[in-house]
Structure formats: structure tokens, C-alpha cells
Structure 1
Amino acid sequence: MRPDLKEVIERHRYILDENRPEAVEKRKTKNQRTARANVADFFDGGDYIEYGALAVAAQRGRRPIEELIKRTPADGLIAGLGKVNGDLFPPEKSRCMVLAYDYTVLAGTQGFFNHKKMDRMLKLAYEQKIPLVLFAEGGGGRPGDVDATGVMIAGLDLSTFYSFARLSGRVPLIGAVSGPCFAGNAALLGCCDVIIAAKNANIGMGGPVMIEGGGLGTFRPEEIGPIDVQTKNGVVDIEVADDVEMVAVTRKYLSYFQGRVSNWEAGDQTALRKLIPENRRRVYDVRAVIRALADKESFLEIRPKFGTGIVTGLIRIEGRPFGVIANDCRYMGGAIEAEGADKAVRLIKLCDTHGLPILSLIDTPGFMVGPEIEKRAQVRHVCRMFVVGSHVTVPYFSVVLRRGYGLGAMAMAAGGFHESMFTVAWPTGEFGAMGLEGAVKAGFRRELEAISDPQERQAFYEQMVAQLYERGRAMNMASYLEIDAVIDPAETRKWLIKGLDSVP
């Protein structure tokens, strides 16, 4: 072998996990894989090309080069191009870029050369419109890169964060993290469309050193932004068990933005006829409705612990990807609160940006009202549903499962029942300008107050509710053309596919 080629091969061996047994073993003790193992698992067959593999930390002024080559391979950032889900999609759809911080190298911190490497890759991703996945574990900025002190003071003029953020809306931008993710690493993670995090993740805009340096106390990394906090506040979109599931879910999430799959299976659609209780006061599991309606194993829920009155996620119908939003009547009767509205808006914008049609499953008494909810800026938050809905450009389909009341139901239907590609109801659908019970109490207050006998008053109240219910039944609504149709629940998939096929 030629000496020059031998030198190249020998140098590249330093970046391989097989030649870094101590680092690999340390990860195993934490029930984590190395960054390289995750990247190899993410790309089809572990096959990818790596940019900037020969970089080392900018610390030649304080450490021997031999030590840097051994201890700081790739300067702690793996940058690769390869295929993902290539068995399902053609090359132009399966191409993907990965940027993975390597925690075994200086705690996954952001150094001078890995910033330079990332800037190079972000430029490529932007120009070539390549979907990007960021494995974000790491501690933020690295103060020990002394080689850079001669060319910069604070380094705040770098373009990494700008370049990363401008990819949002241009390509799918996916963040995944296992372990600690603080400061600059968290800043990049927070720019992603979705954050997929393992149970051991800790995410914060500042790590222990920064917090203590700011005089804010002393904390262990595990105390800062743990997974139970970040799932409930909506920072983390999808929680997974470990590195293995993190990579698998990341591949699955990406697939919805890669296109249609040819192999799919649907369940017995007649089961949908029984999922909404005949007793209109009984609750049900809307996730069961989504799973029954979607292709089998295709429902990927997003932010399940945040804004719990609304369910959001991604599904497939006959192999075609859809975004889905749905009211959950088990939480506050399905009333829309500020957090749920934010959750719905984010899903709608994600789908609209990347060309996914949207399915809205409606069962709501409307927007939540009252003094307490207004303390959470309810007006501003829920009205974003109207603003965003009015700008949707992808096909939007509204299906009323049961209650379609007031402004909340209109917001779920992109702003109004005639703003969707279609608005249909199942036979259980019921409608009104506001909840029936509230409408009777407000509209017939004088009549109710005039009845002194409690039993007679209750009977009158129930009679008025029944009349309004009959008037607002789905069949009656459709006869006045306020909705487009009342359909057999088993025909919902047919309506969605016919509707989708009818758009240019």
C-alpha cells in the first residue's frame, strides 16, 4: 500500500468506536450508545459519507497534536450524508443529512472547528434542500479552544445559529437527544420542527456551569430540564425510552415527509360506527378513533402530555401521510384551552409548510371560558387558530365526530365550516352557536326563573335542551347546507382519499 494512502487510512481509524473502547464502555454504563453508533443505525445499512472527519479541537497551542487526534476525533461533530428509508422511497426522497454532537469528545461541546464544519454542512442543506437530523447531546460552548483566541474575542459573529434556524420551513428539521443538552446545543435543538428525546434527557438553555456562574445556585445536570418537565411544557414532542427507540422513531417521523408508501393495511372500518357512545354525555378515547381510521401502526402522536385537550400527530391513509388534530373529550370535555390551541397551531403550520394534508376530528363545546383561563392569555392563544387556519394552503378536511359548538368548532375547521375542503359529520354530530345547556340557561333565563317549582323548572330545562339538540342534529345541519354531508363513519377514509384526489 502506498504510504500516503496508508496514512489516510490510519488517521481515520482514530474516529472509529472500535478503536475507542474506553469511550464506548463509558457510554454503556449509562445505557447509551455512542454518537457514531446512533448515526450508523440511522442511515440505511450504516452507510454514509462523512465530512470533516479529520478535524480536531482547536487546542494545538495547549495539547500535542497526537493527543488531539486521539482524544478529539472530528472535533466532536459527526457530519454525514446518506439515505434513510431507501427501501420505501426513491433516492431523491430518501436523502438526508445528519449532524451529531459526540458526547465522548469534550462532552459534545461546540468548538471552533465543529462550528466551521457545521456552517459548511448547513450551507449545503440549504442550497440542496436536504432534510436534516440533529443529534444534540452536549454541553454548549467550549471555552478551551485557545487556538481561536488570536482571531476572535467572544465568537458571537459566527453564523451557525442563523444558518440552522433559516432551514426551518425549507426542509424537515428534526432534533433528537439522549442525555444532557444545554446552552448552544439546546439553542439548535429548540429550532427544530420536532424534538425526540429519551427519558434520560435533560434540556436547558444553561447547564450547571452557566447557572452557577450567574449566581443562580448549584445544580446537577439531572436537575435541569428533566424529561417530565420538558414533555409537560411542550418542549419535547416525542418521548422515547432510549437511544435505540430514539433512532427508530426519528426514522419513522422523517418518513411522513418523504412521501407515500405502497404497502399499507387498514383495519375494519365498520368498527368506527361503535366508537362514539350513543349516550352523548359519555366520554370515549379519541386516540382509538384515530388508530381505527388510520392505516395500521401509522399513528405517531406528538406532544401527548402538553395541551392535553387536543391530540395531534401524523398518520397515513392508504399510505398517504396526513397531519391530524382532534379534540379529547376526556379532558375538560374537549374545550379548547390556550396550550391545546398552541399545540394544534404548531401541527397545522408544520403540515402546511411541508405539504401534508390535514385531518381535523372535531368534538368540542368550544373555547374554554372563565376568569381562570384568561390568566393564561386565552384570547391571544386560541385566536391563533383562526389566523393560521386562514392561511393554510394544503388540503384541510374536517370531520365532526360529535359536538361542533361555537367558535371553537369553527377554529378546528380552519376558521369556519365552509373553509375546509369538506366538513362532514358522523351521525352522532350535534351543533350549536354554543353548548346546549349554556344556551338554554342564557336564552331562557327569564322563563326558568319564573318557574318556582324545582321539578317543573328542571323538566322545562330538559325539554328546551332536547329541542335544541334535535334542531342541531347533524342531519338537520346538512339539510340547511351548513355542513357538506352526514356520512357513515366507515366511509371516512373514502371521503378523505376522494377529497385528496380532487385537489390539484
Structure 2
Amino acid sequence: MTKADDWHATLDELSRRRRTSHDMGGAERLAKHHGKGKLDARARIDHFLDKGTFREFGTLVGGDIAADGIVAGSGLVDGRPVMVGAEDFTTLAGSIGPGGNAKRYRLAELALRDRVPLVMLLEGAGFRPSGEHYGRTPTDLLAQAQCSGKVPMVAGLLGPSAGHGALVAPVCDWTIMSRQGAIFTAGPPVVKESTGEEISKEDLGGPGVALASGVIHNLAEDDEAVLDDIRRYLSYFPSSAWSYPPSLPAGESGEPRSTADLLDIVPRGNRRVYDMRRVLDVVFDRPDWFEVQPKFGPAIICALAHLGGHPVAVVANQPQVMAGSIDADAADKAAHFIAVADSFHLPLVFLADNPGMLPGSRSEKTGVLRSGARMFAAQTAATTIKLHVTLRKAYGFGSMVMSLLGFDNQSATFAYPGATMGAMSAAALSKASHAAEDVEAQLRQMEVDASFRSAGHLGFDDLIHPEETRNALLAALQRAVYSRQAAAEPMARTVITP
């Protein structure tokens, strides 16, 4: 007998235990899962990561409970390392036991230690009822909270997610759900037991509810689409706050070009509607920019794009929605987006065209002033590169939250000639002051002249022709990136969010 023969029994036992883990919930449960059009936990990881790069840890945790309900490890996305955990719904409904809790903590711990993104693929029932004592075992959410603002964190909701596991999603920077996903504090059976309400998981926390509440950011058709969008989202970000966002290769970066098309897209009259998305199509490198949270607070567009090959975060008013007036949902969405972009050093590009914060009793009841203050605090505290263009108008506090103020640490501020600004529009001021007809005409002319007066006092760095929009922003960004002469590091947060 050779020394190698001595290993056979031990290695056979290792192989047996690995097979138990890899078999997950067994053939019957896997078939049922696949029958719903879903990938299983291991197939999700295989689809998400670069082929052949997954390195699992904690394979044997849980013993006969395969991987204790969560597959965890590391791999590469476009050649860059990430940590990834996938709840296995075929094993005790993806519920969390002591071993699974330790693995989840380890995922976040390693993500922060090694300064790489953390991706959680969720479909689970939360902590499982157990006679085992958790004691002072640290929970994964503590480690995850320590990752915030230091490494990108993403959650994919690929089925029902309840209880403790569901809390992972809102702690992440960005969350995307499949059409079969759902998220709630407690599932329908617990709701019925606690309150007597009978409700389906779709009506409790399905895509329609989660999008409307702002709990999730984006929706995708199925598992594969969710995983592909997570890869795309991460492509705009550095691996951590200790590095800068990766630029596109030279051959893929956009060159300077005229944006004369904007003369046809952006009407000269302030009361005429247009789609700001068409502006993004023209200004940025290619019309495949990625919109974040399009169904929530649609009066503001938040998007990831490239400008001259550099990843940027775009905050733009949408005149198609309430004439671009900023309501509470739009401000809350933008505040979070700005904070995430700033944390990972993405330059912010503001495209302003709004009549101010949304007035009215309904808006006030939703806390529009608080949400507006939150957005203002986020943008004024941002230390990343900031670029601003006023296309037609920006009134009152609506201009301040869109980073119009020229002394607010921007690298560049521009406006189109004829852009109007001030405390309120001439029409609103005329009505509020009961102005005579001749006074109203004077007010309107002063409004039209406002951009030239402002430029004459350096209220903007320059007034630009619409066809110069891309090139003005690109030149400003190319200059501003020279500010990155010091090593990147996490932002120090000192502002209390209102």
C-alpha cells in the first residue's frame, strides 16, 4: 500500500460530503424550482460570474443541510473579483441557520477586508426556527453595514425574501428584482396569523409594491436578466472606495462631437414638454446608459453613463413628469443615488430643467421639504467632480438641489442662453403680486435676460450653444479628473441626512 492509498477513505468522505452540498435540496425540489423558470442557487452563481472562476467557501457548513441554505464564495466579473452569496430556496426555503449566518458574515467581512464588491442573491425565509442558541454570534447585517460606502453592495431578489434576509436588500446600494421576486418584513402566513389579513405574496411585496415604495430600484424579466444587469451595474463602479472608476478602453471611449440634435429635442419655450432621456442619448458616449430606479420618483432621472469613456452619474429633471417639478420621491431617489455615486468617486452631471419643488397640499403631506433638504445635503456634501447645465429653467430650491449655485464646489457650471432662474417664474410672480399687464411684460423680459445677466456676473462659467453641450462637459471632465492626483479613499460622512 502506497502513502497515496492512505488518503482514499478520507478523500472519499470529502467527496461524499461535497456531493451532499452540491445536491442542494435534492432532485425533486430542484426540478420543482426549475419548473418555475428559475435558476437554482449554484446555476445563478455560474451565470453571474466569469466562467470557471467561482471558489466556494463553507461548502461543508450545515452537514446534512446542504451548505446550510446558502452558497458562498468569490469569483470574477469582467476579470475583477467579487464576493457572492446565493440563498438556496430548495434547502429549507433558503432559511438562515447558525452556519449560514456565519457564512453571510464572512462574505461581508472578506468583501471589506479585500476591498471588493459584495453581491447577495436572495430567495429565502429569514432565520429558521431552531433550538440552537445563536448567543452573541455576530449577524451578517453588522458586517454589511460596515461595508457601506466602502465597497459596492448589490442585492438581487429572485424569489420571495422575508424577515432578516430581506433586510439585506435595503442596506445595499442597489437592488434589482425579477418578476417572480417579492420582499416583505414577514410573509403572508405570518401576516394572517398576526393581523388576520389574507394577502398574496405578490400583493404584499411583489414587484408592483416594491417599485412603488422605492424598496427596490430596478426590475428585470427573469433570473438571467437580473444577473446580467448586476454585471452591467458593477461595470460603472470601482472595486472599492479606495480606487477610482475604471474608464473604457481607448477604442471604446466617445470622441468630441456636436450635439446639434438638441436644438430639435429641447424646445425654446419653457412650457413645452420634451423627453430628457433623448438628451442623454445625444450627450453621452452611447445610447445604452443605465437608468436606476426609473419607476420611482420619475420627475428625476438617475442614470449611469459614460462621458469620454469615464463612468459618470447623471441627475436630470424630466419635463415630461409634472413639468420637471421635484416631489418627495424624486428627491429621495436622487439623494441616495448622489450619495452612492460620491462614495465611489463617480463624477456627477446635473442637467437642470425644473420649475422648483412640487407645491400643493399632497406634496407637503409627503414631506417634500424634508426630502428636498435630504437631496440638497447629499449634493452639497459631495466631494466628487460635479458638472452642471441649466437647459431652460431652474427656480428656487429646485435649482439648489440640482447643484446650480456656482460656489458649490462644481468643476463647471453651464447654461443655455435664455435659461431662466430665480425664486419663481414670471408667470407665478405676476399672479402672486397681482401685477399689471405692463409690469408682467417687464417681468417676462427680465426672466429671458436672466441668463445673460447671470453670465455677466459669472453666475455660470459660460453660456453655451446647445450643440456644444457634450464637448463643454467633456472638456470640463477631462480637466477635472486631474484632481485625482491623490490616492482614492472612502468619504468621511459628517452631514446628518435630514
Residue 77 of structure 1: aligned partner = 70
Deviation at 1:119, TM superposition (A): 1.9
Q: Quick one: which of 114, 118, 124 aligns to 1:138?
A: 124
Deviation at 1:77, TM superposition (A): 0.7
Q: Quick one: which of 102, 117, 123 aligns to 2:103?
A: 117
Matched, 1:8 2:14: yes
Residue 252 of structure 2: aligned partner = 264
TM-score normalised to structure 2 length: 0.88
TM-score normalised to structure 1 length: 0.87
For 2:155, what is the secondary structure of its paired residue?
A: strand
Equivalent pair of 1:265/1:296 in contact (CA under 8 Å) = no
Matched, 1:307 2:297: yes
Equivalent pair of 1:418/1:483 in contact (CA under 8 Å) = no
Matched, 1:365 2:355: yes
Letter in 2 for 1:467: Q
For 2:370, what is the secondary structure of its paired residue?
A: helix
For 2:392, what is the secondary structure of its paired residue?
A: strand
Deviation at 1:292, TM superposition (A): 1.8
Equivalent pair of 1:273/1:488 in contact (CA under 8 Å) = no
Deviation at 1:475, TM superposition (A): 3.5
For 1:78, what is the secondary structure of its paired residue?
A: strand
For 2:413, what is the secondary structure of its paired residue?
A: strand
Provide the rounded CA distance (Å) in 2 between the counterparts of 1:488 and 1:85: 39
Deviation at 1:394, TM superposition (A): 0.2
Residue 28 of structure 1: aligned partner = 34
> Percent same amino acid among aligned pairs?
32
Provide the rounded CA distance (Å) in 1 between the counterparts of 2:316 and 2:72: 38
Paired residues, what number?
Answer: 464
Provide the rounded CA distance (Å) in 2 between the counterparts of 1:290 and 1:298: 9
- Please list every run of 5 or more consecutive structure 1 residues that lacks an aligned counterpart in the other structure: 58-67, 87-93, 449-456
1:234-271 CA distances to partner (integer Å, 9 max, x unpaired)?
11101111101000000000111132121436587332
Higher relative contact order (CA 8 A, sep 6+): 2
Deviation at 1:53, TM superposition (A): 0.7
Equivalent pair of 1:79/1:98 in contact (CA under 8 Å) = yes
Equivalent pair of 1:39/1:46 in contact (CA under 8 Å) = no
Letter in 2 for 1:40: D
CA separation of 1:114/1:19 partners in 2, compared to 1, >3 Å: closer, same or farther?
A: closer
Instruction: Kindly report which structure 2 residues correspond to 1:485-504, keeping only aligned pairs within 5 A, or say none.
Output: 485-503=462-480, 504=483
Equivalent pair of 2:380/2:403 in contact (CA under 8 Å) = no
Provide the rounded CA distance (Å) in 2 between the counterparts of 1:296 and 1:387: 31
Q: Quick one: which of 222, 226, 229 aligns to 1:249?
A: 229
1:296-322 CA distances to partner (integer Å, 9 max, x unpaired)?
244111111111211112111122111
**Regions of 4+ moved over 4 Å:** 17-20, 265-268
Equivalent pair of 1:140/1:186 in contact (CA under 8 Å) = yes
Equivalent pair of 1:410/1:417 in contact (CA under 8 Å) = no
**Structure whose CA Rg is larger:** 1
CA separation of 1:220/1:434 partners in 2, compared to 1, >3 Å: closer, same or farther?
A: closer
Equivalent pair of 1:336/1:366 in contact (CA under 8 Å) = yes
For 1:209, what is the secondary structure of its paired residue?
A: helix
Deviation at 1:75, TM superposition (A): 1.0
Residue 328 of structure 2: aligned partner = 338
Residue 453 of structure 1: aligned partner = none
Provide the rounded CA distance (Å) in 2 between the counterparts of 1:334 and 1:294: 21
Matched, 1:442 2:432: yes
Provide the rounded CA distance (Å) in 1 between the counterparts of 2:183 and 2:428: 43
For 1:44, what is the secondary structure of its paired residue?
A: coil
For 1:248, what is the secondary structure of its paired residue?
A: helix
Provide the rounded CA distance (Å) in 1 between the counterparts of 2:118 and 2:77: 11
Residue 417 of structure 1: aligned partner = 406
For 2:430, what is the secondary structure of its paired residue?
A: helix
CA separation of 1:347/1:52 partners in 2, compared to 1, >3 Å: closer, same or farther?
A: same
Equivalent pair of 1:177/1:198 in contact (CA under 8 Å) = yes
Q: Quick one: which of 440, 460, 482 aligns to 1:483?
A: 460
